């Protein structure tokens, strides 16, 4: 679904590449989380994936479209939706329904079909009952869900969330993370850009960047157990992983865990056994 081959990108006037020789693929229905500290190139990569930025060298193909092709750029944008960090910058209409319909109107979708897709998308994102609400009166998490509903109405193949939870409180953050799981169940390919390791534990693969270069591209379990990789990338393992490893180092026989829920379950099993 996404194929990035030897991608390098340099901002105009910059002395070095913001992305250097990046290669990876993402299969249909997979979730890739891109991790890295500030300035590692995550957002630049996200914008390369839907053609907002074009490669200085190498190629990016998303949903079957080469991002450099002028003829297919509109199809590419429809197939590859993007949610950004600030929910307030993404909502354009005066009601939730109109906002969700906005992209469909631009795409020239016929009225009856548009109504149907808006309704479905609002329901999928758990916004039923808020159709007539003014978007600016919603919570941050609800606003991001409206932005996602607008994208889902266009029936995309890929959804990229660029730090989409960064400005949200814990409730809003868990709302958006829950929606990622919903989209995934529907077979949508997901790319999340984050510097919060705990938000990446459920992804199929992690792409870890440092100074615009790939540090590793591997499943979360492999990455989070590799101290050398984490230290090199300036990251720390998720809290549950750290606690489990500290207990294992003290001779407590726990399995490897990734989330706080898994840690609690492992501790319950351990205490029942001993």
Active site members: 163
Name the nearest CA neighbour of 7 among 70, 63, 51.
Answer: 51
Q: Pairing between strand 57-62 and 31-35?
A: unpaired
Residue in 4, 33, 35, 42 binding ligand ATP, rule: CB under 6 A: 42
For 26, left (φ over 0), alpha (ψ -120 to 50), or beta? beta
Q: Is the dihedral of CA 75, 80, 86, 92 positive or negative?
A: positive
Question: Rule CB under 6 A: is residue 255 a binding residue for ligand ATP?
Answer: no
- Residue 209, sorted as left (phi over 0), alpha (psi -120 to 50) or beta, turns out to be beta
Stretch 137-176: interaction string toward ligand ATP, x if CB under 6 A: ----------------------------------------
Measured distance CA(3)–CA(174) in Å, rounded: 29
Task: Please say which residue, 119 or 195, places its beta carbon nearer to ligand ATP.
Answer: 195
In the sheet that holds 65-66, the strands lie side by side as 19-26, 2-9, 57-62, 65-66
For residues 7 and 48, the answer to whether their CB atoms sit within 8 Å is: yes
Task: State which residue, 126 or 234, has the beta carbon closest to ligand ATP.
Answer: 234
Nearer to ligand ATP, 190 or 207 (CB): 207
Regarding 40 and contact with ligand ATP (CB under 6 A), the answer is yes
CB of 232 to ligand ATP, least distance (A): 15
Q: Which stretch binds ligand ATP (CB under 6 A): 33-41, 94-102, 149-157, 242-250?
A: 33-41
Number of residues that bind ligand ATP (CB under 6 A): 12
Nearer to ligand ATP, 56 or 182 (CB): 56
> Least distance from C-beta 206 to ligand ATP, angstroms?
14
Q: How far is the CB of 255 from ligand ATP (least distance, A)?
A: 32
Q: 175 and 142 in contact (C-beta within 8 Å)?
A: yes
Give the residues lining the site for ligand ATP (CB under 6 A).
11, 14, 18, 36, 38-44, 195
């Amino acid at each position: 679904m996404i194929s990035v081959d030897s991608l390098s990108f340099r901002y105009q006037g910059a002395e070095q590449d913001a992305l250097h020789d990046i290669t990876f693929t993402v299969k249909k229905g997979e979730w890739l989380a891109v991790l890295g500290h500030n300035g590692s190139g995550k957002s630049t990569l996200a914008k390369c994936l839907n053609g907002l930025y074009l490669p200085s060298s190498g190629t990016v193909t998303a949903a079957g479209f080469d991002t450099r092709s002028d003829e297919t750029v509109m199809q590419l944008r429809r197939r590859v939706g993007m949610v950004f960090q600030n929910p307030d910058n993404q909502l354009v209409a005066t009601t939730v329904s109109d906002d969700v319909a906005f992209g469909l109107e631009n795409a020239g979708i016929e009225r009856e079909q548009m109504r149907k897709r808006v309704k479905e998308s609002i329901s999928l994102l758990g916004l039923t009952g808020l159709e007539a609400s003014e978007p600016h009166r919603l919570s941050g998490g609800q606003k991001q869900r409206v932005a996602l509903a607008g994208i889902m109405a266009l029936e995309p193949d890929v959804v990229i969330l660029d730090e989409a939870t960064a400005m949200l409180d814990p409730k809003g953050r868990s709302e958006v993370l829950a929606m990622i799981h919903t989209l995934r169940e529907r077979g949508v390919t997901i790319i999340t850009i984050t510097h919060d390791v705990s938000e990446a534990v459920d992804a199929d693969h992690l792409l870890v960047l440092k100074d615009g270069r790939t540090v590793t591209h591997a499943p979360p379990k492999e990455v989070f157990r590799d101290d050398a990789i984490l230290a090199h990338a300036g990251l720390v393992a998720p809290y549950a992983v750290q606690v489990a490893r500290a207990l294992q180092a003290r001779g407590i026989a726990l399995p490897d865990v990734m989330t706080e829920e898994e840690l609690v379950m492992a501790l319950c099993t351990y205490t029942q056994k001993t």
